[in-house]
Amino acid sequence: MGGVMLERRAVVAKLLENRDNALVISGLGSPTYDVAAVSPSERNYYLWGAMGGAVMMGFGLALAQPDLHVIVITGDGEALMGMGSLATIGANQPGNLSIVVLDNEHYGETGMQQSHLGMGVDLCAVAAACGFTQACSVTTEAELQTAVSGFHETGATKFLLIKVSPETPPRVMPTRDAVENKITFRRALGTA
Amino acid sequence: MSSINWQQAVYDVIKSGDIKLIGYVPDAGHAALINSAKADDAMREVVMTTEEEGIPLCAGAWLGGMRSLLLMQSSGVGNCVNMLSLQRSARLPMVILVTMRGEYAEFNPWQIPMGSTTQAVLELCGFKVERVESEADAAETVQAAIDFAFNSNVGVAVLLSQKMLGRKKWVE
């Protein structure tokens, strides 16, 4: 696979380039740096901890803001830690929530140890079995293009598992102050 | 006051406190509240696979401007511990109603370790904790918890004592 693997930051840039007023929750580690690097916005909430919570945070936000597209961008390790959340979301099928897992099959923040997704576990099949109305795995540029078209159209509970190379692009660090991020985000939404 | 009445009174203050979302892992002591939420079109209720899911659920809802509340048993508090860092880091308003096990007339010794540490765990994690021993105090205490949480951006847990809830019936 080597050279043809998708690059995480280019993937996130492509997914978010036409985001308009969409809301983004980023999971701790590289996804937070990726979102900060390519799509900085007051409508982003960057997690630096609470591992396993990104998906549910997106669900809570999607329930509170049913008219906006809520996008969770997280890593495979983070998503695995909250795997039960996929069942909770599948049972409710919010039409404005998209879960994007950037799957490099490793725990990038802690020394690139292999994750379950590099050991045969199919998280996309889990999401489909949990009742996500769209669950697809993306490994090529062409598949990414298909996934991007219509990505921001609501009406489906989406799960995208995007295989990316285990590179570590330069860290772009957004605020680590969770209170500041909360206030900025809520002001942007008019809920503060 | 009958058991139906205190739980209805608690549900009434949840409604008047503008709570629009209830996350829960089922517990017999919360059954009446869960049924009230399910019967109420204006209340969204979410059954979760683990109590830990409830902390980011509430956090996300609050970012979006919605007030929510969690129902769990004392054993579930232990499942939340690291996730509670989200509440504390972001100073989020959060209300958790906890049905206690492992105390008065407990039948199952496995409930004792977590039940006996529930209050201390919550306090170590930065939550304010109120304990309710009598049905007459339940609604007022929950109302105070909602006011406290949403006015002061704190996490508040209300522990509903096992003595008040009554002995678990093992044989119908």
| CA nearest neighbour of A32 among A16, A20, A48 | A48
Q: Which residues of A touch B60 (CB under 8 A)?
A: 25, 56-64
Q: b/e for A24-40, b at 16 or more Cβ within 10 A?
A: bbbbbbbbbbbbbbbbe
Residues B153 and B172: their CA atoms lie apart, in Å, by 43
Nearest CB to A63; choose among B47, B54, B66: B66
Domains of chain B, first to last: 3-164 (3.40.50.970)
Mutation site for A-interface testing, chosen from B18, B20, B53 by largest number of A Cβ within 10 Å: B53
Per-residue pLDDT, averaged over A21-45, amounts to 98
Cα dihedral B1/B2/B7/B11 (nearest 10): -60
* Cβ contact B60–A57 (<8 Å): yes
* Cβ contact A62–B52 (<8 Å): no
pLDDT of A41 reads 98
Is the model's pLDDT at A136 over the cut of 70? Answer: yes
Is the model's pLDDT at A118 over the cut of 70? Answer: yes
Query: What is the average pLDDT score of chain A?
Result: 96
Asked if B32 has any chain A CB less than 8 Å from its own CB, the reply is no
* Cβ contact A25–B85 (<8 Å): no
pLDDT tens per residue across span A4-28: 799 999 999 999 999 999 999 999 9
Write out the residue range of the structural domain in which residue A29 sits.
2-189
pLDDT of A192 reads 80
Give me the CATH number covering residue A80: 3.40.50.970
| CA nearest neighbour of A58 among A153, A128, A157, A172 | A157
Is the model's pLDDT at A3 over the cut of 90? Answer: no
Residues A186 and B10: their CA atoms lie apart, in Å, by 29
pLDDT, tens digit only, all 172 positions of chain B: 455 599 999 999 999 999 999 999 999 999 999 999 999 999 999 999 999 999 999 999 999 999 999 999 999 999 999 999 999 999 999 999 999 999 999 999 999 999 999 999 999 999 999 999 999 999 999 999 999 999 999 999 999 999 999 876 655 5
* Cβ contact A50–B57 (<8 Å): no
The structural domain count of chain A equals 1
Q: What is the distance of C-alpha A83 from the center of its chain?
A: 14
pLDDT of A1 reads 45
Residues A56 and B23: their CA atoms lie apart, in Å, by 11
> What angle, 0 to 180 degrees and rounded to 10, lies between the N-to-C axes of helices A83-92 and A123-130?
30
Per-residue pLDDT, averaged over A101-130, amounts to 95
Q: How confident is the model at residue A2 (pLDDT cuts 50, 70, 90)?
A: very low
Nearest CA in chain B to A189: B64
| CA nearest neighbour of B13 among B159, B145, B153, B156 | B145
User: Which residues 107-166 on chain B approach chain A with CB closer than 8 angstroms?
Assistant: none
Per-residue pLDDT, averaged over A81-93, amounts to 98
pLDDT tens per residue across span A143-156: 999 999 999 999 99
pLDDT of B2 reads 53
Asked if B79 has any chain A CB less than 8 Å from its own CB, the reply is no
User: Which residues 39-78 on chain B approach chain A with CB closer than 8 angstroms?
Assistant: 44, 46-50, 52-66, 68
Per-residue pLDDT, averaged over A64-88, amounts to 98
pLDDT of A95 reads 97
Residues 6+ apart with CB under 8 A from B5: B135
pLDDT of B171 reads 57
Residue B162 tokens read as 């096992």
